[in-house]
Amino acid sequence: MSYLYFKSLHLIFMVCWFAGLFYLVRLFIYFKESEKKPELERTVLEKQFTLMTKRLLYIITWPSAILTTIFGLSMVYINTALLDNQWMKVKLCFVFFLLLYTYFCQLIFNQMKIGKITFKSGSLRIFNEVATVFLFSIIFLAVLRTTISWLLATIGLILLAVILMILIKLYKRISS
């Protein structure tokens, strides 16, 4: 199989992985917010959100994360010179932290299965935006590679995080 096939499959499963992560944390938020509902409604919602999360996690998110990793490593195996690039080393660090983020989602799901997520809704909203920061970081590194200044990239990520936090605060204020 040629390098470009691996690259195509890597990108396809990366999109699926992120789609899973974005929706997964939304389901955590919905589950957490269902705690405020009357008993009967809460029971039905929590059961449904837990089922939806289980399917999303085990049918889309984890398989996509694993396949993204396999195809990415296949690309590196075919073209070991990629590891000589500083941008690739940084990207791989972000991917490692994205895998940890996915594992942390698994831990939250484990809480969900026993009926109680210990995080507040607002904390989960902030946690949801972490995946966005990973997405921006990884894509900009992969596409712009050496054409982007590390200083500008760092400032851009900090600005992105600040903007996301402001939007979360505004949403919280508007929805209250």
Instruction: Read off the pLDDT of residues 25-44 as tens digits, 9 standing for 90 and up.
Output: 999 999 999 999 999 999 99
Instruction: Read off the pLDDT of residues 88-124 as tens digits, 9 standing for 90 and up.
Output: 888 899 999 999 999 999 999 999 999 999 999 888 9
pLDDT at 147 over 70: no
Q: How buried is 97 (Cβ within 10 angstroms: 0-12 exposed, 13-18 middle, 19+ buried)?
A: middle
- Helix boundaries (H) for 79-146: 86-113, 121-144
Mean pLDDT of 52-76: 97
Output 145 or 60, whichever has higher pLDDT. Answer: 60
pLDDT at 156 over 80: no
Domain borders along the chain are 3-175
